[in-house]
Chains A and B, each alone.
Chain A
Amino acid sequence: MYLPIIVVVVYSFNESKLSSVWAGFSLKWYDELFRDKSMLSALGNSVLLALLSSGAAAVIGTLGAVGMSRAKLRGAKTIELIATVPIMAPEIILGMVFLAFFSLIGLPFGMLTLVIAHTSFCVPYILLLVKARLAGMDKSVSEAALDLGASELQAFFTITLPQIAPAIASGMFLAIAMSFDDVIISVFVTGVNTNTLPLKIYTQIKTGVTPKTNALCAIVFACSAILAAVSSRVGKKSA
C-alpha cells in the first residue's frame, strides 16, 4: 500500500530534474513550490471548497437524518436512495450531469458550482453515519427530557446533538478527505479561473512532471495523514 507513496516522497528530495536519476538530497523543489502563486491559490481553493461543502453537507445530512428518525415521512426511503446515488454511481456520471445541469440553469462555473457538486457527494456520508448513530441511540432519554418539560429544540441541543456529534465529525472528516481528493467531478464543474489542487496535480502529471509535483504530493500526503490520524482519534472516542 505504501510503496508508491514512499517513491513519491523520496523523489521529492531528488536534486535532479529527471525522475530516473538520483542526484543527491535537496530541498530546492519545496522552495520553488512555495514561490508558485498559482499552486498556493489552488491549495486555498481546495481547502475552502472542502470546508464549505462538508459544512453544508453536515447541516443538510444531520437535519435530514434527525427529521427522518422522528417520524415516518412520506417518500423518506426514496429520498434516501436518491441522496446516496452520488456515492454509488460512478463519479463520471455525476460530473457529466452536473455540467449539463449547471449550463442549463445558467450558473456560472466556479466555486459555487464546485461547492454544490461536492456537497452532493458529501451529504450521503453524513446522512448514513448519523442515521446509524441515531438508530443505536436510546430514545427514552430524549423522551424523558420532553416529558420533563424541555422543548423539542432544547431536547435536541442538550440530548441528541451531543450524542450524534462524533458521527457528524467522522462523516465530515470523510467528506473533507473525499472533496480534497476529487478530480473527476471537479474537472467537469470548475470554471476557467478556479483551479483546485488535485486538478493542478492532474494537469502537471499529464504535461511533463517536475519534482515540484513530488514535493507538492509529499505535502498533501502529510496533511491527509494528519487528518486521518485525528479522525481515527475522534472515531475511537465515539466508539
Chain B
Amino acid sequence: MKTWRFRKAAAFLTALPLYVFTIAFVAGPLVLMVAISFLSRGESWGYVLEPTLRNYKGIFEPAYTAAFAQSIKLALVSTVASVLVGYPFGYFMARLSPEWRSRCMVLLIIPFWTSSLMRLYGWMTIFRANGVLDSALMAIGVIKEPLKLLYSFPAVAVGMVYTLVPFMIYSVFSSAEKLDWSLVEAARDLGASPAQAFLTVILPLTMPGLYSGIVLTFIPSMGLYFIADLLGGSKIALVGNIIQEQMMRVHNMPLAAAFSVVLMGLTSLCLLAYRKLAKTGELEGLIQ
C-alpha cells in the first residue's frame, strides 16, 4: 500500500511540469481570452473592467458577418478540394509496396517541412499578372489576356488547399494502411463490382481517416490569415484577418477576443462532431 502511494506521488511529481505549464500558459491565457471578450475597450489599448456584451453584438456588423461567411465558404471549398485530391492520393499510397510507400512519404514530408511562407511566395510568383502561369498559358495559346489570378478568391483557395492537403493525405493514408484487404477480396469474390466493394467496404473503413482529415483541414483554414493576406491582398478578409487587424492595428482587444471565442467555439463544435462520428477522440495521422 505504501509503495503504491509512493509510486503515485512520484508519478504525479513527474507529470507536474506538464500540469504547471499547461495550466499557466495554455488554460490561463484561454480563460483570460474569454474574460476579455466580456470587457469594455480601453482608451488606447487593452481593456477596462466594465462588463459588456457589446463585443458580441459587434460581431453581427455586416462587414464582420461577411468575413465569417467568407471564411466558412473558403473553409468548405478548401476542405472539399482537399478531400478530392487527398483521398485518392492517400488511398493509392497505402496500396504501394512498402519501399515506394516510404519514398512517397519522404517526398510528401519535405514540402510539409519547408517554410510555408516560401511555398506561398512561389505561388505568388506563379499567379502574378504576367507571371509564370499567365506566360505559360499564353505561350500555348489557351488564353490571350493575362488571368491576373493573384489577389483573388481562387488564388487563396489554391494556397489553402496546397498548405493543408498533406494533412488529408496522412489521415487517409494511415487509415487505409490499416485496412484489411482480405475483406475487399472477399467482397469481390462474392460478386461485388469494384465500385460496390469501394462503397460498401473500403469507404466505411477509411471513414475515420477521412473525418480526421476533414477536421484537420477545416479548422486551420479558418485561421490561416496570412494565406489570405498574401494571395488575396486586401480583397479577401477572413475571421483571422479581422482578429489580427483588431488586435494589431485598431487595438480593440475585447472585440478580437470575442471573435476568438466564437472561432474557438466553432473549432470545438468540429472536434465534438468528429468524436461523435468517428467514435474516437484521437485524430488519425495528426502526427505520423
**Chain A residues in the interface with B (C-beta under 8 A):** 1-8, 11, 19-20, 59-61, 63-64, 66-68, 70-71, 73, 75-76, 79, 82-83, 85-93, 95-101, 103-104, 116, 119-120, 123, 125, 127-129, 152, 171, 174, 177, 180-181, 183-184, 187-188, 198, 201-202, 205-206, 209, 213-214, 217, 220-221, 224-225, 227-229, 231-232, 236
Give the interface size class of chain B: 35 or more
Please list the 6 inter-chain residue pairs (A to B) with the smallest Cβ-Cβ separation, ordered nearest first: A90-B223, A4-B122, A64-B18, A67-B15, A67-B14, A70-B11
Cα distance, A217 to B226, chains bound together (Å)? 17
Contact A201 B33 (CB under 8 A): no
A216 to chain B minimum Cβ distance, whole angstroms, is 8
- A-B contacts, 18 listed (Cβ < 8 Å): A4-B122, A4-B125, A8-B121, A68-B11, A70-B7, A83-B21, A88-B219, A92-B243, A93-B264, A96-B33, A96-B260, A103-B46, A120-B25, A205-B124, A217-B117, A224-B114, A225-B110, A232-B106
Closest to A129 in B: B287
Count A/B pairs, Cβ under 8 Å. 245
- The secondary structure that dominates the B interface is helix
Cα distance, A139 to B200, chains bound together (Å)? 39
Closest to A127 in B: B18
B67 to chain A minimum Cβ distance, whole angstroms, is 13
Given contacts A7-B122, A63-B14, A76-B15, contact A71 B115 (CB under 8 A): no
Q: Mark B143-158, 1 if CB is under 8 A from A, else 0.
A: 0000000000000000
Contact B131 A3 (CB under 8 A): no
Residues of A within 8 A of B33 (CB): 93, 96-97, 100
Residues of B within 8 A of A19 (CB): 125, 128, 131
B41 to chain A minimum Cβ distance, whole angstroms, is 13
Of the listed residues B29, B128, B244, B248, the one surrounded by the most CB atoms of chain A closer than 10 A to its CB is: B29
Given contacts A198-B115, A232-B105, contact A205 B30 (CB under 8 A): no
Q: Which of B27, B29, B219 contacts A90 (CB 8 A)?
A: B219
Interface residues of B in 241-271 (CB under 8 A from A): 243-244, 247-248, 253, 256-257, 260, 263-264, 267, 271
Residues of B within 8 A of A91 (CB): 220, 223-224
Closest to A71 in B: B11
Cα distance, A184 to B223, chains bound together (Å)? 9
Closest to A173 in B: B113
Given contacts A91-B223, A184-B226, A201-B121, contact A5 B22 (CB under 8 A): no
A209 to chain B minimum Cβ distance, whole angstroms, is 8
Closest to B124 in A: A205
Contact A4 B126 (CB under 8 A): yes
- Is B52 interfacial (CB 8 A cutoff)? no
Residues of B within 8 A of A11 (CB): 125
Residues of A within 8 A of B117 (CB): 181, 183, 198, 201-202, 205, 217
Contact A90 B224 (CB under 8 A): yes
Contact B115 A181 (CB under 8 A): yes
Closest to A125 in B: B287
Closest to A8 in B: B122
Residues of A within 8 A of B120 (CB): 4, 205
Contact B25 A64 (CB under 8 A): no
Given contacts A2-B111, A71-B12, contact A7 B125 (CB under 8 A): yes
Cα distance, A179 to B29, chains bound together (Å)? 20
Residues of A within 8 A of B260 (CB): 92-93, 96-97
Contact A100 B15 (CB under 8 A): no
Given contacts A5-B119, A20-B128, contact A59 B17 (CB under 8 A): yes
Residues of A within 8 A of B196 (CB): none
Q: Which of A5, A66, A229 contacts B122 (CB 8 A)?
A: A5
Cα distance, A6 to B162, chains bound together (Å)? 15
A70 to chain B minimum Cβ distance, whole angstroms, is 4
Closest to A214 in B: B121
A156 to chain B minimum Cβ distance, whole angstroms, is 9
Closest to B28 in A: A101
Cα distance, A59 to B18, chains bound together (Å)? 9
Cα distance, A120 to B29, chains bound together (Å)? 11
B99 to chain A minimum Cβ distance, whole angstroms, is 12
